[in-house]
Amino acid sequence: MADHTDSLTVHGEHGTTIFTLSGPTLVVHRASDSEFHSPPVRVSPHGGPTEKWPRIETTVRHVLWAEVKENLFEIALVARRKNSHPLSLVLVAGTVKSDQLEIATAFTTSLMDVAYAGIRRQRRLRVLVNPKSGPGNGIGLYHRKVEPIFRAAHCHVELTLTTHHGHAYELMKTLDLGQYDAIVVVSGDGLVHEIINGFAEHARPEEAFRLPITPVAGGSGNALALNILGPKEGCDICAAALNAVKGRPMRIDLCSVTQGEKKTLSFISQCVGMLADVDLGTEHLRFLGSNRFVLGYVYGGDIFS
């Protein structure tokens, strides 16, 4: 059976925009490339200048929000210009004619229903950003790319900038679990390590471990982000933000390491010897990003400390 197709036409200052929803695919089409200068269409970086993008084809999973206010139709989505490009935030708005309001409302309802099928809308996100992680650009990444997507998806966000080693661990030990749908981590793997060990010390650890952790690649290695999202999207900041908005929980294995009387939880891997020396011995070179690991290996781990 062929997929049912819905369409909606909205009007901007310089032309029309046609939205076509067919199964899992949404197509946004401008009447002509020359008409794409109109203010109702903006392409990220959020708040940047309007760009030409006459035809956008994406999946409904990439739709963040759509609504009709009086006679104004607005939609927020993420899309790629080319398959090799990272995701970009796109905001589109246009006027709906009075005799088309009922159609626009029905189209918006259908679109939001399929876009969030089985997924809670307006998630409550506890966001932790490590300003010192990796090359030290976590705050900039969050405000430029992550926050606009959360805002477009109407998420409820509580933000903390970590200030010291162990800060996330301290927060997670006493976290009010009923207040959040996910923990978003704009950092490398170190902050995730603190979170899972904080969960282990929580008064209700089993419940704490059911709260999803969503990594946004802001560190040197970003192993968890790469393992969850894959090599193509693991370092795509917008893809990671989309995962926080619409991702589905999955389980990963943890391991427990005991040294003397200290018990520590770990994920993905636990290293000793040369690999551990390279990681620990290049802490002072975090500004180099992942290149610090190469230098650490070449110089035998502990270099220039």
**How would you write 67-130 as a 3-class SS string?**
EEECCEEEEEEEECCCCCCCCEEEEEEEECCHHHHHHHHHHHHHHHHHHCCCCCCCCEEEEEEC
CA distances to 265, 270, 274, 284 from 259, rounded to whole Å, are: 11, 13, 19, 25
Overall number of domains in the chain: 2
* 57-108 pLDDT tens trace: 999 999 999 999 999 999 999 999 888 899 999 998 889 999 999 999 999 9
Residues 130 and 174 in one domain: yes
Whether 138 and 191 have beta carbons less than 8 Å apart is answered as no
At 45 the pLDDT is 39
For residue 285, tell me if it sits in a domain: no
Residues 138, 95 share a domain: no
Q: Which residues are catalytic?
A: 189
Which of 253, 273, 290 represents a domain boundary (last residue)? 253
pTM beyond 0.85, yes or no: no
Q: Is 265 inside any structural domain?
A: no
Residues 20 and 89 in one domain: yes
| pLDDT tens-digit map of 15-46 | 788 999 999 999 998 765 444 333 344 444 34
User: Domain end: 229, 253, 277, which one?
Assistant: 253
CATH of the domain at 214: 3.40.50.10330
Domain that holds residue 204: 124-253
> Is 294 part of any domain?
no
